[in-house]
Structures are given as structure tokens and as C-alpha cells.
Structure 1
Amino acid sequence: MTTNVKRTIGFIGTGVMGKSMASNLLKAGYALNVFTRTKERANELLEAGAKWKQSVADLAATSDVIITIVGYPTDVEEVYFGQAGILENAKAGTYIIDMTTSKPYLAERIYKEAKLVGISALDAPVSGGDIGAREGKLAIMVGGEEQAFQSILPIFEVLGQNIILQGPAGAGQHTKMCNQITIATNMVGVCESITYAKKAGLDPTKVLESITTGAAGSWSLNNLAPRMIAENYAPGFYVKHFIKDMKIALETAKEMNMMTPGLELSLSLYTQLAEQGDEDSGTQALIKLFE
């Protein structure tokens, strides 16, 4: 793996995943500028050598590559557009990478407006949760131009292992929707399976030993089912953010005139879970509804 230490990376968003991703970039030798709404959330990164920037505009003006991983599409719009946003303040020749799971049309808009001012934009949402972010093993789904992708690839290689250019702007976000649709129905199945094992008088941990290596195997079964059994609901990925993702997927699917019964069921269950007070829990907390 090669890294270009001459590039300064600006990083916006230091949540559950973003903090680990930024930390891995520092460890790889990159100079890092950071900005987040609450400075305290960036303290560990600052202690590790990152430089604090007072605003999005300041970060954009002083960075060669800008990575954002924020909460919602509205946050993406706020960060990228307007006089205080990235597009207005970044230098020509800058690479901007939105790794938020967001709306495909928004990725297309960022790409088009960036190109007008000589900035290269990629949409690159990720999958792998807190574990993948911490270990630098994220799956990275990229939309944009080949030249920009190849230029940024060494940075992506610090953050993940499965890195694929899926197509033009917006393709990364569409691919992430495929990922979230698959997870949505799978999580219902995982919850039902663990609950069934308990009600049948089985040791669910031993059941996992049998079924994770067979046809039922999945990332959620391997990584989240043990947390369900341990009643560990700490967020590797927030319920509220998963609901946001499913709503984007459902909205986009309707625009393409396709049926999504599994997605609709999962969204209704997670909405119920959030209404019960678990919106800030990890997605594995869905099992509470079944128990």
C-alpha cells in the first residue's frame, strides 16, 4: 500500500465510524484537518495529531482532499452548499468524497456543481459498522470518474478492503441502498432465529456455531447475533441512521416503480423500535420487539 503524505485530508464527521476512519488516516501518515459540530468529539484525534478547524469553510480552504461522513442528507446539503460550504471554499483541484449514506440524486448534484469549479467529487458510502471502521476493513462503494477514483484509491485502501468503482456519480449511493435493503430483511430473520432458538430451549450461542457456517451465514448473523444474545445494544450503527437509510431506499425504489415488501416490513419494525426509545441503540436492538 502506498500513501501520499503530501496531501492534507480534511475530515468532517467523527461519529461511531468516522472517528475510527480518521484515526486510521492519521496512523497511515496523512496530515489531517478535522471539524465537527461538537469539538469535544474530536479530542482524541486532536491529541493524536489532527489539526482543528473552526469551520467547514476553513477546513475546505486548507485541505487537498475532503472526506465527509455526517448523519443525514440535510447535513450533507448544509456541509457542501452555500457560502460557508465546501464547494464555495475548496480550491480548484481538490477531491471531495462524501462517505455518508445519502440520496443518489444529491451525490449527482454535488458532482455536477463540483465539476463546474474544477473540483472532483466521489460518492463513497461504506459498510462494515464500527468493527470494519476500526480495523480498516470497510466495504467502500464508489460513484464517480475513473481518474478521481484512481487518485483517491490509496486513501480508500487505508479505510477499507473491498473497494469498487460502481459507476458514475450516484452509483455508490445506489449500491449502498442495495446493501441496506439486503440487511433490512436479514436482520428480521436473525432476530426471529435467535428468539426461536431461545423458545425451543436451545443454547443460542451453540446454535450460532452451527448456522453461521452454513447457507444462513451473513455478516449480521456473525457480528450482531452475539450482541443480541449478550443483550449488548451499544451502537455499531444507530437505529435512527438505519431508519434514514431505509427511507431513502424505499423512496428511490418507488421512483423506479419496484416492490419492496421486505424493506417495508423492516422499516415498520425499526420505526416501532425507535418510538419505544431505542433510536440511539445499535441495530441489533431490534430483537427487543421479538422478546
Structure 2
Amino acid sequence: MTRPAEPAGHEVPAMRPAEPVAWPHGKSAAASFTFDVDAESAVLFGNPAAAASRLSVMSHQAYGPLTGLPRLLRILAEHRVRATFFVPGYTAHRHPGAVRAIADGGHEIAHHGYLHESLAEVDEAAEAEILDRGLAALAEVAGVRPVGYRAPMWELTYDSPRLLAERGFLYDSSLMDADVPYELDAGGATSIVEIPVHWGLDDWEQYCYLPDISGSGLIEDPAKAVSMWRGEFEALRREGGCFVLTNHPFLSGRPARAAALEGLIEHVAGCTDVWLAPLGDIARHVRGLALKPRAIPKPELRGSPP
């Protein structure tokens, strides 16, 4: 075990909690339904040749854009809810009609890498290339220049805020240190809006099972999953927070799961004290509050094991 470094002639920058956010129109809290349209990209990254040869696995992932997404778009339209869809560039190239249907439905399209690449061991130049490749794909297929970003696997790097700010992104939704959005320091007197997430508000942990790829084989009852998400919503509502649910069309687009999710959407949409909006709208509101940027300093480690 290594020990945190002691400051060498200066103090480590103090970390401070995110400050409360005043929501528009007198609302007490905010909420957003978001969807990561990973499709095949979620399993192709890492070992594409091996994954691509598995027809059953590819069909499991293709269920999202082919079957689950149209169902979810119908549900959102029926309840007049606008959502945010994070789309990898590869998904846009492989399923252009599905991505255009998202835009045609009046929903926000945001950036989610190109091939759902993990950034855990990616250097700055490679991360920049992934961002640019994804931007080009979304512009080519859907004619959009996204203002929002979500790192695949929520694996943001310490270079990411600056790279996003340099490309004109307004917000990111990958970090987990607050219940409300805030301005994230991007260096050089710039910042981006951060809209936090967490693993408890993600359907992957509830539903995903792919042999040798992901999951233990335990697939939860949709009623159980939605009950947990509703509990999180009600708690954040009381706290004045921002509820951000992440679903994947290849998972939550299945009939029973979509039906359970629809019940939650209907409930949240019916709460008159909650502002339900796409993440882009939430980020624009937060940017208008002129909050003081905050940072999460990188831990400095030194020394040998004790």
C-alpha cells in the first residue's frame, strides 16, 4: 500500500462540496432520463475480432437499435418526455436510421466515444482522437454537434475536462461526487458543467448478462430494479438534487423492463415540483448560475509500502 504524498511546500487544494442548485420555475429538484445506445460497440471494444465472430452476442446487442430503441421512443413520445441519448460513433455508422430516429423524436444526442473505448489506460493524444472521431460520426450521420459527453464506463481521465472544453462541449455526465450539477474546473480559467451519475442508477448492473463478457448470471426482476430507482428519485427529490437514470436500449428496451420503466417515467413526469428535462437543458441552466468551478485534485502518491 502506498501513502498519500505530503505537500512539498504548499497545501493540497481543498476539496469542497458542490453547492445547492436553484432550479427553474420554482421547482424543488430536477430529473433526466438518459440512454446509452451502445449496441455492438459495448462488446467490440477490447477484442473486436473475437466478439464480432459471436453471432448470438452481436444479436443481443443489436436488439437495442433494432427493437428496444423504437419501443422506448414510443414510450417517451406518449408521455411527452424529452431524453438524452449518448451515442457512440460506431453505433451511428452501423445503425444510422436508429440514430436519426432519436433526433427526429426531438431528443438530445450526446457523445459516447467512438467504439465505447475505455479511457482507463489511454493517453491524451489517443483520447483526443476518439473524441474527434465520435464528433465526426455524429455530424455525418445525424447532422448534430453534441454539447454533452459521457465517458464509456464512466471512466473520465484528468485530461478529459480540458479536452472537452477545447472542443466546445458544455457538459459531461460521468463523475459521481455530488447530488447536483456543478462547474468542473477544466484548467486555463475554463470549466464544463458536470451532471453526476452513479452505479445504482444504471440498468447494466440489474439486467446485463453475456457469457464470458459481463454479469454473474443474476438478472433482476424489473419491479425490483424500478423500485430501487424510484427510491433514489424520491430521496433526491427531497434533497433538491438531480436524478439521472441511465438505461441501455438493448437491456431496458425488452418488453417487461420497458413497461416497468414506463411506470417510473409516468411517475416522475407527474411530479409537478420536479423539472424533467434533457441533460443539455439542465446544463444550460446550471451554466447560467455562474457557479464557482470546483476540482477533484489528482492524488499524489510517493514512498514505499509501510
**TM-score normalised to the size of structure 1?**
0.28
| Structure showing the higher helix proportion among its residues | 1
Structure number with the bigger relative contact order (C-alpha 8 A, sep ≥ 6) is 2
